[in-house]
Amino acid sequence: MTSISRRTLLAAGAGAGLLTACGSNTGRGGGGDGGGSGPKLSQWYHQYGETGTEQAVQRYAAAYKKAHVSVQWRPGNYDQQTAAALLTGSGPDVFEVNGPTLDQIQGGQVVDLTELLDGVRDDFNPAVLTPKTYDGKIWGIPQVIDMQLLYYRKSLLKDAGVEPPTTLDALVDAARKLTSSKVKGLFLGNDGGAGVLGGTPLYGAGLSLVTEDGKVGFDDPAAARTLGKLHRLYADKSLLLGAPTDWSDPSALLQGLTAMQWSGLWALPQVQKELGDDFGVLPFPKDGSAGRPSVPVGAYGAAVSARSRHPEAAKEYVKWLWVERTDHQEDFALSYGFHIPARISLAEKAAKLKSGPAADAVRLSTEHGYAQPLLWTPAGQSAYQDALSRIIKSGASADRELRAVVRKVSAELDRVKKKS
Amino acid sequence: MSRRNALWFWVFVGPFALGLALFTYVPLVWSVALSFFDAHNTVTPTHFVGLDNYTAMLKDDAFVDSLKTFLVFTAFIVPATYVFSLSLALMVNRLKRARAFFRSVFFLPAACSYVVAALIWKMSLFNGVRFGLANTVLGWFGGDPVAWLSTTDPPWYWLVIVTVRLWLQAGFYMILFLAGLQRIDPVLYEAAAVDGARPGWTVLRHITLPQLRATSVAVVLLLVINAFQAFDEFYNLLSDARGYPPYARPPLVYLYYTALGQGQNLGLGSAGAVILALVIAVVTVGQARWLKLGRTDADG
């Protein structure tokens, strides 16, 4: 009998242990608790590569006094993580998002933030505010503007007798001439460019992903002609493929694996440090008579989850950090990686953006920047990306591939318009 | 007494039954329910669409392609693993010394995580630049570096995908074959020798393989099911921050992006999962019938 009671105790203890173990990881609390009293808010960021960024956002959160903000720094597939977390009540209250997507807005997963920008709306760069606006309401506050551009090594181009390319044909030729047994001409990411280029070549041909009146923007023979040229880069073996790091990291360029690389503005401080003056930046070159150079711009936006238990407190915090505290915004944009402040007034003041390649980059973003339209849905995007990959790598007929994509994207546009 | 037994039954079985219900059966039923709804960005949808998700999925070229990918992968990996692990088992079984050592060495990769192995294959063995191991070896013979995972013609990525899984799982199936081999009565080999069967191919063909029948059936069945569940090494070898290329995309990877990517079309993804589950069930049952699973070696 005594032995059984001992076992009972043991079993009960083990059972209780199991149950508590299940409940411990709620995604709340833990490291990075900010100061302040009032309600508890949890704020999510994706993992920025530049050192110091994480400490900076912890510092901002700790400086907020009206709520207790705990910051979560989330490595890995951030978009998937937030999408899953928004389905439940245990997700973040405030989170940055490469969006919000149209489905998140239409599904009521994020809160209307229009009133936060009262009086300062015009100070936010319209290029990145527009894709966060739907039905006249604003669903995410742009934090900083990111852009992508083409980096090239001046010395390598000079040695090969190549001018910085200004047309797509010149880019294809330059990449071929710059390719040797040790160095490749161009790096567009390990997948050959389908992922990172996205709609950029279409804008380079004077087209768009979705037109302003909500139609497919590349139902045009010029689209197939331009995308078909990208296959030449692959067929000529001018593209660096299978590098240890991907396009977002400038290592391939810095290690001399490639002469030109498509990457982000955020990489500029590192490139400048390693290469000094031996580099320049270019937009994606134009193609065809209607073409114009293009660079993609985008912004992570701060959004508030509709399932937050304290939506008003969360909105107030977002307003404090991303609207009122311009000092934090400036620090966040410019002290770590390089980003363009989303506020026009801050971007104009930023001394770091006034000279050298950084100034070129800012000029490119204002003259040639395009942002992915809100109506460009993930389902349309993946159909387009699959097609682009087949065009680049397998030499599939761009004409036929694009016809299928146009059908898919039209269906998606119909679907989202029906919901509004 | 019986009451106490009932109590103990629930103390021991309860937590597991609860876990099974909560983490397996509820999601299963929920997923089937979702597949009949337009469930964009929600797990509690309200818009019933009937079989629309199923027809959309079956008409989706990418999904049908992913099923073909799975077939190609199975056609490579099942025979390759079967032959390779059987050869290992036959070799280890013949060893007079250090058998335990070699058994452990060949089994060891089975303890390695798919993710870790995939990253090693991707970053150091088969990366596309000149200092990757495979390209260094090619360089000794004067070959140009090959971008193993990015080249679609010829499809070198299959080499990477198949070898990583072969390395990871061959040891495990070798153990199964070893157990089967050790159950074969040595008298059979002696009798065969007396009857004049030459050691080697004849003995393998007429004694060893028939005697291993039950083990072989189990091995093939497990291999096919494992191939169906392929996700880890594909995802870690080929995906990047922007998604997954349109080749070598098995069904689970495709559904992962449909349902859990930014698209968050949980209804469509669930419909795909149900279709996939049905395919697996039909194939497994058919295979078990065809191979007469459950017959013992002695019946064979």
Interval A85-126: pLDDT, tens: 998 888 999 999 988 999 899 989 999 999 999 999 999 999
> How many percent of chain B have pLDDT more than 90?
56
Q: Give all domains of chain B, ordered by start, each with its CATH number.
A: 37-291 (1.10.3720.10)
**Per-residue exposure over A291-325, b if at least 16 CB sit within 10 Å of its own CB, e if not:** bbbbbbbbbbbbbbbebbebbebbbbbbbbbbbeb
Cβ–Cβ pairs < 8 A, chains A and B = 111
Is residue A136 within 8 Å of residue A374, measured between CB atoms? no
pLDDT digits (tens, 9 = 90+) for A257-285: 999 999 999 899 899 999 999 999 999 99
Q: What pLDDT, on a 0 to 100 scale, did the predictor assign at position A35?
A: 53
| B261: closest CA of chain A, how far (Å) | 5
- By C-alpha distance, the chain A residue nearest B243 is A195
Say if residue A15's pLDDT is above 60.
no
According to the model, what pLDDT value does residue A255 have?
94
pLDDT at residue A141, as a whole number: 96
Q: Could you give the CA distance from residue A171 to residue A239 in angstroms, rounded to a whole number?
A: 12
pLDDT band, residue B290 (cuts 50/70/90):
confident
- Listed by start position, the domains of chain A span 29-146+297-359, 150-296+373-419
A378–B243: do the CB atoms touch at under 8 Å?
no
Which residue reads 């570096």 in tokens?
Answer: B145
Instruction: Provide the terminal-to-terminal Cα distance of chain A, rounded to the nearest Å.
Output: 69
| pLDDT score recorded for residue B206 | 87
> A86 contacts in B (CB within 8 Å)?
41
- pLDDT attached to residue B295: 61
pLDDT in tens, B196-254: 888 788 888 888 999 998 899 889 989 988 888 889 999 999 988 788 899 999 999 99
**Angstrom distance (rounded) from CA A315 to CA A319:** 6
Distance CA A381, CA A385 (A): 6
Instruction: Give contacts of A181 with chain B, Cβ < 8 Å.
Output: 144
Q: Is the dihedral of CA B179, B184, B185, B186 positive or negative?
A: negative
The ipTM assigned to this model is: 0.82
Res. A217 pLDDT band, cuts 50 70 90: very high
Contact predicate B118/B233, CB 8 Å: yes
- Mean pLDDT over A319-336 rounds to 92
In the predicted model, is pLDDT for residue A419 greater than 90?
Answer: no
pLDDT of residue B201: 85
Can you tell me the distance from the alpha carbon of A212 to that of A209, in angstroms, rounded to the nearest whole number?
Answer: 10
Query: For A355, which DSSP code?
Result: S
A203 DSSP β-pair partners: none
Confidence bin at A21 (pLDDT 50/70/90): very low
User: How much is the CA Rg of chain B, to the nearest whole Å?
Assistant: 24
Q: Which residues on chain A are in Cβ contact (under 8 Å) with B56? A: none
Percent of chain A with pLDDT over 70: 91
8 Å CB contact of A382 and B261: yes
A104-109 long-range contacts (CB < 8 A, ≥24 apart) are A104/A139, A104/B41, A104/B264, A105/A134, A105/A139, A106/A416, A106/A419, A106/A420, A106/B40, A107/B40, A107/B41, A107/B42, A108/A306, A109/A305, A109/A306, A109/A307, A109/B41
Residues 6+ apart with CB under 8 A from A343: A120, A123, A124, A125, A326, A329
Residue B143's pLDDT is 84
Distance, CA of B189 to CA of B180 (rounded, Å) = 15
Checking if the pLDDT of A358 tops 80, the result is yes
Q: Is B172 on the interface with A (CB under 8 A)?
A: no
Residue in the structure block whose two tokens are 């299959």: B158
Residue A36 has pLDDT above 70, yes or no: no
Contacts with A217 (C-beta within 8 Å, 6 or more apart), sequence order = A202, A207, A208, A209, A210, A211
pLDDT tens for A177-208 read 999 988 999 999 999 999 999 999 999 999 99
**In the structure encoding, which two tokens stand for residue A184, read together?**
């490749």
What mean pLDDT is predicted for residues B20-49?
92
Selecting from A83, A240, A393 the residue whose C-beta is nearest the C-beta of B262 gives A83
- CB-closest option in A101, A246, A386 to B62: A386
Confidence of residue B296 (pLDDT cuts 50, 70, 90): low
Overall pTM surpassing 0.90 (yes/no) = no
Examine the pLDDT at A6 and tell me if it is beyond 80: no
pLDDT at residue number A10 = 44
- pLDDT of A399 above 80: yes
Confidence label for A336 from pLDDT (cuts 50, 70 and 90): confident
Mean pLDDT of the region A52-61: 93
Closest Cβ–Cβ partner in A87, A242, A383 for B129 = A242
| Distance between CA atoms of residues A323 and A343, nearest Å | 9
The mean pLDDT value for A240-246 works out to 90
Nearest to A243 among B12, B129, B264 (CB): B129
Q: Best interface-test mutation with B: which of A77, A110, A190 has the largest number of B CBs within 10 A? A: A190
- Mean of all residue pLDDT scores within chain B: 89
pLDDT at B44 over 50: yes
A29-146+297-359 matches A150-296+373-419 in fold: yes
Average pLDDT over residues A158-168: 95
* pLDDT score of A3 more than 60: no
Q: What are phi and psi of A135, to 5 degrees?
A: 60, 30
Helix (H) or strand (E) holding A229: helix A221-235
| Cβ–Cβ gap B262/A394 under 8 Å | no
- Scanning B24-83 for CB atoms below 8 A from A yields 40-43, 61-62
| Secondary structure (3-state) at B85 | helix
Long-range contacts of B290-297 (CB under 8 A, 24+ apart): B291/B217, B291/B220, B291/B221, B292/B217, B293/B217, B293/B218, B293/B221, B295/B213, B295/B214, B296/B214, B297/B180, B297/B183, B297/B211, B297/B212, B297/B213, B297/B214, B297/B215
Structure tokens at A413: 């546009």
CATH architecture of A29-146+297-359: 3-Layer(aba) Sandwich (3.40)
Q: Which of B240, B257, B264 sits opposite A103 (nearest CB)?
A: B264
Instruction: At B10, list the tokens.
Output: 């629930």
Flag the least confident range among A343-352, A392-401, A406-415, B79-88.
A343-352
Distance CA A169, CA A230 (A): 9
User: pLDDT higher for A314 or A35?
Assistant: A314
> Among positive and negative, which fits the CA dihedral A157, A161, A164, A169?
negative
d(CA B32, CA B278): 12
Measured in angstroms, the CA of A243 and the nearest CA of chain B are apart by 6
Helix (H) or strand (E) holding A392: helix A378-394
Under the banding of pLDDT at 50, 70 and 90, the label for residue A46 is very high
Instruction: Report residue B17 as tokens.
Output: 């039954």
Task: Specify the fold of A150-296+373-419.
Answer: D-Maltodextrin-Binding Protein; domain 2 (3.40.190)
- pLDDT at B45 exceeding the cut of 50: yes
pLDDT recorded at residue B280: 86
Residue A281 to chain B, least CA–CA distance (Å): 23
Type of residue found at B272: G
What tokens appear for B264 in the block? 């968050």
Contact B128 A195 (CB under 8 A): no
How far apart, in whole angstroms, are the C-alpha atoms of residue B227 and residue B56? 25
Each residue's pLDDT tens digit, B155-180: 999 999 999 999 999 999 999 999 99
Interhelix angle A2-23/B2-20, rounded to 10 degrees, is 20
d(CA A343, CA A341): 5
pLDDT band of B1, cuts 50, 70, 90: low
* Residue B293 confidence (pLDDT): 67
* Smallest Cα distance from B149 to chain A, Å: 7
B9 to chain A, any CB pair closer than 8 A? The answer is no
The whole-chain average pLDDT of chain A stands at 88
DSSP bridge pairs for B48: B37
**Burial, B247: exposed, middle or buried (Cβ in 10 Å; 0-12, 13-18, 19+)?**
middle
In the three-class reduction of DSSP (H, G, I as helix; E, B as strand; rest coil), residue A305 is classed as strand
